[in-house]
Structure 1
Amino acid sequence: MFDTVLVANRGEIAVRVIRTLRSLGVRSAAVFSDADADARHVREADTAVRIGPAPAAESYLSVERLLEAAARTGAQAVHPGYGFLAENAGFARACADAGLVFIGPSAEAIALMGDKIRAKETVKAAGVPVVPGSSGSGLSDDQLADAAREIGMPVLLKPSAGGGGKGMRLVRDAERLADEIAAARREARASFGDDTLLVERWVDRPRHIEIQVLADGHGNVVHLGERECSLQRRHQKIIEEAPSVLLDEETRAAMGEAAVQAARSCGYRGAGTVEFIVPGGDPSSYYFMEMNTRLQVEHPVTELITGLDLVEWQLRVAAGEPLPYKQGDITLTGHAIEARVCAETVSIKEGARGFLPSGGTVLRLREPQGDGVRTDSGLSEGTEVGSLYDPMLSKVIAYGPDRETAIRKLRAALAETVTLGVQTNAGFLRRLLAHPAVVAGELDTGLVEREVDGLVSADVPEEVYEAAAAVRLEALEPREEGWTDPFSVPSGWRLGGTPKPVGFHLRVQEPVEYVPRGTHALTGDTVSVTLDGVRHTFHRAADWIGRDGDAWHVRDHDPVAASLTGARHAGADSLTAPMPGTVTVVKVAVGDEVSAGQSLLVVEAMKMEHVISAPHAGTVAELDVTPGTTVAMDQVLAVITPVENAAENSASHSAEEEK
């Protein structure tokens, strides 16, 4: 076993790897960018090295700086985690050239399976069924569009060099192919440094099932059962479980053997995952999608049902140990399910429901552990969550003797999860787990998108405003002992008149004027309110309150100031940033005429693109950003003057010129 291992990653996966290193008595060396100088993984490691400024390209993606860190800490091996350089063949090769053991497969296996086009050809030759799609690499935009039309709509555009749903685009309308190909290339280039795409047939209402494999350097390969990963949003998994309710023992064995053959076809070593797309109505018709040559985010559910520590076996295999298991030794016991807690806020506009990256400072943190519950996290109170890295903050995992128990435990654990100061999706995940289709195991990759309207609400419960008002009332209470000026007490008292209720102008989602009508009890970190005989208790921290995984940022609202701000662009429409991030594309200039729905700008945050479109036909009156501009949430990006106003302004301008 190694003496020191460099963990070339950050966040919850770095903390997770460090935990196993500590259990094995191996010294851990962390790396950090300027943004992570006080991060949890840095504090928990035995030693840590700064590797550069906040942008990932100058720190976590810098092979040179990571190798320098390994040399400075005396590491013999490097664990890449997942994301960043985990599936980068050049990094694996550079580690080997530097005399370091890369804890993962060979550079050749990474390169082969990292190229989805070559990977499909390789496993197909080994007898593994693959999804029908384009052939050949380096296809031009026109060739991709031709292949899509030949396959038949709908199709899925996929980056050849990456995973995690980044750059994937489902296209149902052939007229949208050009725009979607361009967008997919941008995302692929930003995420993986490679914009090569392929196109595959889209299977309607598919299930996403993956098989965990483990291989050593002595020719032994076993699979550790499957994980159901069909609950996704924008092609990214949000809830995973093991085993899948879809598979019977015969299908499980067949898919497991196909995964083993896929691993053998590339000379695989270490822990890896073979992903399949499965028609929900015919689980025996499964197709290979890709192989992830690294540890998966969802590996804990496999650990809980097998009793194996996958990070430990990555280390042991990398150190040259043979697997002591044959396939018959692997047993699956009980059920495990995982939810990915991400920094996200629900965007509700004109009836549409969507999710956007969020950020902020973690003011209060509570993460459940024990009694069949595990939380893998990189958070601590005071953590700054920015827009530079992936939005996933933690994973909450529950285990039980059966699926019903595991789901019930996970819902309870999500209700106990508190992350005040940063909006997360914990409450949404809790509601999703109660959806009848999820409870029944009737899953597919489109379920979340179809049902999202019923899982988020534009309405803020009255008790939230009541709790917010209770906190504001407490702040107004006089702190000095002795005589109290009655005019300073927030009681509504007035000379010679009936007390007037104290009202508050508050903003949670939309501004309201709220007059409290219940009773309140406040402690240091909770606030309880009773309305109509029902008591509601919230966690609190500064101007945040939360319960059952949901959190609300409560701000004072000044209607006069808001009115003045709104008057700035009378007769026009300001387009604002929906999230903190960076403007990557600007397609218009001041004076351009635009049509309703036309794409004008692209803002990127946490590896996600958001297209800013014209709300109506008009003229670009102002444009306050250029490519590369860093923007804050709600910052004005552009102003579009509606058609009728543009015509009026033009006529007025002409009249002035005639004078």
Structure 2
Amino acid sequence: MTPSPVSPPPADTSTWPFDTVLVANRGEIASRVIRSVRALGLRSVAVYSDADRGARHVLEADVAVRIGGDAPSDSYLSIPAVVDACRRTGAGAVHPGYGFLSENAAFAHALDAAGIVFIGPSVHALDIMGDKIRSKNHVAGFDVPVVPGVAEPGLTDEDLLRSAGVVGFPLLIKPSAGGGGKGMHDVHRPEDLPEVLGTARRVAARAFGDDTLFLERLIERPRHIEVQVLADNHGTVIHLGERECSLQRRHQKVIEEAPSALLDEATRLRIGQAACNAARSVDYTGAGTVEFLVSDAAPDEFFFMEMNTRLQVEHPVTELVTGVDLVEWQIRIAAGEVLPMTQTDVVLTGHAVEARVYAENPEAGFLPSTGTVLALTEPTGEGVRVDSSLVPGGTVSSSYDPMLAKIIAWGADRGQALDRLDAALAGTVVLGVDTNIEYLRLLVNDVDVRAARLDTTMIERKLPDLTFRRVSSGDLALAAVLLVEAEPVTPGHSPWHRGDGFRLGTARPREIALEVDGATTTVRLQRADGTWTARIGDTTVDVRVDGYGVTIDGLRRRRQYRVDGDTVWLGDAGWSARLRRPGRRDLLDAALSRITRDEGSADPLVRSPMPGTVVSVSVEDGATVQAGDVLVAVEAMKMEHQLTAALSGVVRLSLKPGDLVKAQQIVATIEAAPEIDAPSPPAPAPISSPTSSSTEGNAA
């Protein structure tokens, strides 16, 4: 069983300077904070944008206040709107969660001016630690080792280009403000640096309102280890052990665990002391995290990266191995209470692992997904915890970060924790939105992960060899049957009103076209005695769907399913698939497209793979482009996607920054020019660079 919580003395909230806490955030972290606010007997206030009107955190709070439109700048990032919501609801304190305004010194200033308690560190700590350049230079004087690099305020692109030679390649571009991997880019060749700097500045400006960048030497195949600190207003600073966060994709954490399997006790003591030194150097109060790079080859060496002056996404693994409710102590410390524990009271028991569930499609380049939650099952069981933003019927919007939930498991040892996490992921069902659950299960069961052979580049190396489950003939047959059986029944008993292929003699087979991952397959169905026989090419499959479930070729199958108009969602043990019945217009367009170009040649139409906002246009209408040239960058779910030309020719487009695009909308057309058109390679997948986490915000 999980460790018993450290039992703090009961809180006497009658003496506190506030009795109502406003949670200035959304999604799973807002719901998680509300739990601890209620457990303390305080009144909770949620804020929401138009897109979040029916969100889970809104339903769970005692009071909810609308603060603006869908765009974060109009709502969750609006300091005046949040302060006004405090005044309207009588909230005497604000918990910022993570991301959005959680590390914004101007926000803390505004709350202080309004007489509202900020549940976080002082403005002094925010000012120093909120700027990566300043924090790195600052902690170097307090016995905290730092990564070599060039970190000075106000560096221009020209300054950075000149400094790159001194830093050396490969190097890492980092934004001075914010965190969570947003705006961070590896650069291995000098010729790539100018273009990547432009992308990094755009991302940093949008995510943090500050495009200041600096450079660090890229430590290849490092381990990312962070230390949780907790400090009160009376001089006590302790750490609650470390977390291993090395399983990342493009600097965005995917799976985290506590404690790290890498560190021995001596190193754990030293890295914990360094974290406390960093916290003391700014008179830190509340919960914070100090992040380090640790060499896998030399695990006794570690380098300071940054301090996150807020709660972390992965805080539950620390809570599970220590029994300490970090959110409760954030609130109690903000109310003036003294930490009753010392460093010797902190004991790490067992092991905990967390996986982040995202609305994204790993097989399609991790494109974020939007939609409505049609079916939802969240796991339970011994040692299992779920922090979630999901509700049945809830909408996953393109306005925010794609993180939907966190599945966390505790075990007596690392192996049991991973086994429980795998089982919990297998028991998680989310239909209506593409998710990364199958991908998470593949990672959890990877031989190197099981052996704790981790580093921050491991996922990128493993991705090409990950084998995802494909849609089978049985899945196609089941989807076709579900679509047919979901068709509305026309009144009347005349055979002319029936859509079952009736004719004299043998019934005509029903033909159902199904589109999966861009490919269309025809399923031919005939029914006899309640069982459908499906023919897919040369394969025959028998399907029966009844009150007992799904039977395929005589075997009962564990299929979760939902039919949504012309789309069928199937799910099984963490795997899910979306099968769509294309309309006649879709089939005609596809046929015409095949007729008008040579077989195997690249498609001249450039489509946005998802709904979003145009953030940059790299070429002018009528310009000559080469295959692979970037044409347009579209932002969706706080990620930037660069759309490229699939062939050489003359580009036709009419978009401008700020324009909204729909999924599969044509954003550009390439008119092939014979004199420059060479045999074209397959269309490259959209390039995605994580830039934000609205639920999670700054997740590093």
1:368, distance to aligned residue in structure 2 (A): 1.4
Q: Which residue of 1 aligns with 2:328?
A: 312
- How many angstroms apart in 1 are the aligned matches of 2:410 and 2:561? 26
Matched, 1:507 2:515: yes
Secondary structure of the corresponding residue to residue 191 of structure 2: helix
Q: Which residue of 2 aligns with 1:631?
A: 661
Kindly report the root-mean-square deviation, in angstroms, between the aligned alpha carbons of the 2 structures.
2.2
The reply on whether 1:118 has 2:134 as its aligned counterpart is: yes
Report whether the alignment pairs 1:519 with 2:542.
yes
SS in structure 2 of the partner of residue 554 of structure 1:
strand
Which aligned pairs between 1:403-442 and structure 2 lie closer than 5 A? 403-442=414-453
Following the alignment from structure 1 to structure 2, what is the Cα–Cα distance between the partners of residues 503 and 647?
39
Question: Which segment drifts farther, 608-617 or 300-309?
Answer: 608-617
State how far apart, in whole Å, the 1-side matches of 2:103 and 2:664 are.
36
Query: 1:588/1:313 Cα in 2 relative to 1: closer, same or farther (>3 Å)?
Result: same
> Aligned equivalents of 2:133 and 2:268: distance in 1?
26
Tell me which amino acid in the other structure corresponds to 1:513. T
User: Separation in 2 of the partners of 1:445 and 1:455?
Assistant: 17
Match of 2:46 in 1: 30
CA contact (8 A) 1:82 1:297 kept: yes
2:577 aligned partner: 552
Preserved contact between residue 540 and residue 546 of structure 1 (Cα < 8 Å):
no
Contact preservation (8 Å) 1:336, 1:403? yes
CA shift digits 1:106-155 (9 cap, x unpaired) = 11101100111110111110011100010311111121122222111101
| Aligned-pair CA distance for 1:258 | 0.6
Deviation at 1:521, TM superposition (A): 3.9
Residues 50, 261 of structure 1: alpha-carbon distance in 2 compared, 3 angstrom cutoff: same
> Is the 1:9–1:60 contact (alpha carbons within 8 Å) kept by the matching residues of 2?
yes
Which of 193, 199, 209 aligns to 1:177? It is 193
Partner of 1:657: none
Deviations 1:439-495 (A, max 9, x none): 1111111111111123354842333212212212323596879x67399464x6653
Aligned residues: 638
1:586 aligned to 589, 592, 617, which one?
Answer: 617
Residue matched to 2:253:
237
Where does structure 2 lack aligned partners over 5 or more consecutive residues? 1-12, 525-533, 535-539, 598-602, 679-700
TM-score by length of 2: 0.87
Change (3 A) 1:233 1:619: same
Contact 1:529-1:537 at 8 Å conserved across structures? no
Counterparts in 2 of 1:434 and 1:480: CA distance versus 1, 3 Å: farther
CA contact (8 A) 2:293 2:304 kept: yes
CA separation in 1, counterparts of 2:571 and 2:585? 29
For 1:129 and 1:566, how far apart are their aligned partners in 2?
Answer: 62
Decide which of 269, 277, 283 is 1:261's aligned counterpart: 277
Which of 485, 504, 521 is residue 495 of structure 2 equivalent to?
A: 485
- Partner Cα separation in structure 2 for residue 302 and residue 308 of structure 1: 8
Letter in 1 for 2:543: H
Range with greater deviation from structure 2 (623-632 or 273-282): 623-632
| SS of alignment partner, residue 193 of structure 2 | helix
Q: Percent identity?
A: 52
Q: Distance in 1 between matches of 2:628 and 2:334?
A: 52
For residues 557 and 372 of structure 2, the distance between their equivalents in structure 1, rounded to whole angstroms, comes to 29
Contact 2:438-2:468 at 8 Å conserved across structures: no
- CA–CA separation in structure 1 for the residues paired with 2:675 and 2:505: 52
SS at match of 2:486: helix
The match for 1:655 is none
Q: Are the equivalent residues in 1 in contact too, given 2:542–2:554 (CA < 8 A)?
A: no
User: How many angstroms apart in 2 are the aligned matches of 1:609 and 1:71?
Assistant: 36
**Cα deviation digits, residues 602-634 of structure 1 (max 9, x gap):** 0001111111111122111x2142211111111
Structure 1's unaligned 5+ residue stretches are 349-353, 649-659
Moved more, 638-647 or 506-515: 638-647
Residue type of the partner of 1:485?
Answer: P
Q: Distance in 2 between matches of 1:537 and 1:219?
A: 56
Q: CA deviation at 1:496?
A: 4.2
Match of 2:641 in 1: 610
Change (3 A) 1:486 1:35: closer
Q: Deviations over 1:226-277 (max 9, x none)?
A: 1110111111001101111111111111110110001111111000000001
Shift in Å, 1:302: 0.3
Partner of 1:66: 82
For residue 286 of structure 1, what is the aligned residue in structure 2? 302
Q: 1:519 deviation in Å?
A: 3.4
Which residue does 2:504 correspond to in 1? Answer: 495
Moved more, 370-379 or 237-246: 370-379
Q: How does 1:188-207 map to 2 (within 5 A)?
A: 188-207=204-223
Using the alignment, how far apart are the partners of 1:463 and 1:501 within structure 2?
A: 17
Residues 346 and 456, structure 1, Cα contact 8 Å, conserved in 2: no
With structure 1 as the length reference, what TM-score do the two structures score? 0.93
Matched, 1:368 2:379: yes
Displacement of 1:565 in angstroms is 5.3
**Pairing 1:2-81 to 2, within 5 Å after superposition:** 2-81=18-97
Secondary structure in structure 2 of the residue aligned to 1:431: helix
Please give the alpha-carbon distance, in whole angstroms, between the structure 2 residues aligned to 1:336 and 1:87.
27
Name the SS for the 1:603 alignment partner.
Answer: strand
Matched residues in 1 for 2:305 and 2:546: separation? 53
1:475 equivalent in alignment to 2:506: no
Within the candidate set 155, 169, 188, 1:139 is matched to 155
| Structure with more relative contact order (C-alpha pairs < 8 Å, separation 6 or more) | 2
Correspondence for 1:652? none
Structure 1 residue 527: Cα displacement: 5.1
1:592/1:327 CA distance change after superposition, 3 Å: same
Q: Distance in 1 between matches of 2:419 and 2:323?
A: 21
3-state SS in 1 of match to 2:366: strand
Shift of 1:563: 3.6
Q: Does residue 408 of structure 2 align to residue 397 of structure 1?
A: yes
Structure 1 residues 173, 449: closer, same or farther in 2, change over 3 A?
Answer: same
The 2-side partners of 1:428 and 1:539 are apart by 20
Change (3 A) 1:476 1:80: closer
Instruction: Single out whichever of 22-31 and 463-472 deviates more from structure 2.
Output: 463-472
Q: Secondary structure at the match of 2:559?
A: strand
Q: CA separation of 1:296/1:541 partners in 2, compared to 1, >3 Å: closer, same or farther?
A: farther
C-alpha displacement of 1:514: 2.6
In the other structure, the counterpart of 2:531 is none
- Paired with 1:42 and 1:487, the residues of 2 have a C-alpha distance of 47
| Matching residue's letter, 1:628 | G
Q: Structure 1 residues 456, 110: CA separation in 2 closer, same or farther (over 3 Å shift)?
A: farther
